[in-house]
Structure 1
């Protein structure tokens, strides 16, 4: 009930994303039911299993999109005060998983209604019986099998959301040095030993370390007094026009620290990509059978796509670093810093989009255009995978914008014009397109050449 109330009272943009999840679930459920209908009409286990295996790509894309939408849902974001009324991180995670399951169940129910209507179970058989190859019209539909297939999307999506949004322990800073114990049990930070009664000896407390502590304390008191005096003077000289300015001596708001480490997926991504292209080149050697029938070539294509997806965060970080080379100005510096900070959040879905586009380009060269029996299902599957990955990228951009809201507000308070922020966003988009566009086309061409050669 709480998940339903949070879903109904959300912002229209959030509702639109949830309806997109429901639409993706409906498309994936229809593909699963079509595989079941084909298995009923053609009792060939190998062909039916292959059609069912092809449904894993739309299923994975739908689950990936559902997780991205759940991350940007403001209704299930931890906020101060919610734990007092019983809405802690675990409860909010459960609410988010229940909301995702409700959206996917809505899509699965819609897919079942459309499938039954096309079969002629609800009304007369539409389209003069067209599409009976994968609808199994006239044959009884096993309801347990249909419900089991339709439950795959809600169960998988809710489980993935629960794993992605599970409460994690806060990561502390640098580890504290281990405590060392003295001779008589008085623990200290250094393992230096001292003789019996050394601490009680006269003047031990007034050594160099004690004098340093007293000097540090006196300096802090003087700094505090000076800061208080400056604050009082600034308060006397302040006017209503500058009430929003930072107080003298206080640090101004600054962008978040740029991560010092490069995402670790770039070497692995390049390695897997190279292995995939090598497997495709090995499979393209002259031999019996057509190029599209070689399983090794398809395995190489899959490895190349996985490598491109793994290399996405590292390439985004590299793009941000390249923007700041050779005497950057304020615009390039701001765009590069944001790309380096958001490399993981933006780079992963961007790499997936490039991998999907490369795979679609390569598979289009292998598609048999004379076989029109499965053309609507192939078009629906490609539309689902491409649409879900692009929507995931856009959702990640929204999440990145929400994460930078405080930084953007601080820049606006410091006097940064809105046109500068828009130019920085356009520069980031142009830099990513200039890097990932040719790279995706190059990988697609290298993947297509062994498959069609």
Structure 2
């Protein structure tokens, strides 16, 4: 009840972010239900059903990451005097955020179940052309009855996983002094009534996240080496790697393991890449614009680094999938990925991009006092906007070649004749 009352009084932007979580949960639940429909319609093909279910892990992980990002940026999850007086400490606020996330995802999963049953023809005819032609029923396993227990279990996966991950991610932990990530407004010590003009947040401090860059590069190198080793022998065809039809026939565990290690390396190296980009901007004798942009990137590396690394991994994976698809079907574009694959790709891209935007908004909220201090010192609003544009351009110029190179190296063993 408290979650519903907080949702009713929330800002429209907060409601929009929660609506995006519900939509992402609906997409991930729909993909899980399609895997169940395929398994029900093809009982003699357990490998194909397992392959479809494994492909759904990526949209599920993207949805969980988006839910955690939205929960972190939600004002109702920040400690305050009113919540403390009502007996809601940091631990109970984390549980409250988990309940709110579970509720939003449950609403999306329920809509996904209704849409899935409607497209199968279990709850009447459909007005959609794709469903009206009978293609939807065949693709979703409408020729056989759907197992009720399996459907309920898969529908509950996204709300339970997202709610538990959100509560665990926001659970209070003892913070070491001098941590690199900026604090959210309202977290930690109470604010002083007298405004200060200290420029501490603009000074680069040692980042624990930046120290993970060597480990991320090592994981990335191991993943690429594992994929190169798997490509020496009888590797799977490019079509089997990108198809969502459940054909894992020639695939070997080294390929999947190499992809997992590559993605983990990019995500782990994300904060270090952002911190290094800030150091490059502030090198030499920079002018105020470049100095401000570089110092802010270094300070916010621990907050926006992981989402940026995930977005870089998604971009590299999409580029690699396009290369494999072109190698398998030619560059004419006659054969598409299919509606289910396109739904998964769009879902992952939207979740990754929205997570980066949420992290940027959270970083902007964290440096609000610093921005006010700079304005009092005489900095113009044009300078601050220019620094924000320069930060975005620098990250794009740094991470676009990284994503392109990883996509090239990942797919090179499977596209060479």
Q: Name the TM tier (shorter chain).
A: 0.7 to 0.9
> Is the deviation greater in 296-305 or in 50-59?
296-305
Runs (5+) with no aligned partner, structure 2: 180-193, 242-249
2:231 to 266, 277, 284: 284
Q: Distance in 2 between matches of 1:66 and 1:143?
A: 27
Equivalent in the alignment of 2:12: 12
Instruction: For residue 307 of structure 1, report the CA deviation from its aligned partner.
Output: 1.3
Instruction: For residue 439 of structure 1, report the CA deviation from its aligned partner.
Output: 1.3
Q: Distance in 1 between matches of 2:120 and 2:335?
A: 19
User: For 1:281-320, what aligned pairs fall within 5 Å after superposition?
Assistant: 281-285=228-232, 287=234, 290=237, 292=241, 293-295=250-252, 296-320=254-278
Equivalent in the alignment of 1:352: 310
User: For 1:29-428, what aligned pairs fall within 5 Å after superposition?
Assistant: 29-43=29-43, 44-124=45-125, 126-171=131-176, 252-256=197-201, 257-261=203-207, 263-285=210-232, 287=234, 290=237, 292=241, 293-295=250-252, 296-367=254-325, 369=329, 375-428=338-391
Deviations 1:231-253 (A, max 9, x none): xxxxxxxxxxxxxxxx9xx9733
Q: With structure 1 as the length reference, what TM-score do the two structures score?
A: 0.79
The question of 1:430 aligning with 2:400 is answered no
Deviations 1:281-319 (A, max 9, x none): 222225476465342234323322221221110011111
Instruction: For residue 155 of structure 1, report the CA deviation from its aligned partner.
Output: 0.4
Runs (5+) with no aligned partner, structure 1: 175-246
Q: Distance in 1 between matches of 2:371 and 2:235?
A: 61
SS in structure 1 of the partner of residue 218 of structure 2: helix
Contact 1:39–1:45 (8 Å) recurs in 2: yes
Equivalent in the alignment of 1:443: 406
Instruction: For residue 372 of structure 1, report the CA deviation from its aligned partner.
Output: 6.6
Q: With structure 2 as the length reference, what TM-score do the two structures score?
A: 0.86
Distance 1:8 1:53, change over 3 A: same
Larger relative contact order (Cα-Cα within 8 Å, sequence gap ≥ 6): 2
Aligned residues: 379
Q: Distance in 1 between matches of 2:173 and 2:151?
A: 37
Q: Distance in 2 between matches of 1:251 and 1:395?
A: 27
SS in structure 1 of the partner of residue 204 of structure 2: coil
Q: Distance in 1 between matches of 2:124 and 2:20?
A: 27
Contact 1:273–1:305 (8 Å) recurs in 2: yes
Deviations 1:291-350 (A, max 9, x none): 653422343233222212211100111111111111111111111111111011111111
Deviations 1:73-101 (A, max 9, x none): 01221112421222221221121111101
How large is the Cα RMSD of the aligned pairs?
A: 2.2
Q: Distance in 2 between matches of 1:266 and 1:51?
A: 33
> Is the deviation greater in 383-392 or in 74-83?
74-83
Q: Distance in 1 between matches of 2:397 and 2:288?
A: 21
Q: Distance in 1 between matches of 2:207 and 2:94?
A: 30
Q: Distance in 2 between matches of 1:444 and 1:68?
A: 26
Instruction: For residue 144 of structure 1, report the CA deviation from its aligned partner.
Output: 1.7
Q: Which structure has the greater CA radius of gyration?
A: 1
Instruction: For residue 374 of structure 1, report the CA deviation from its aligned partner.
Output: 6.9
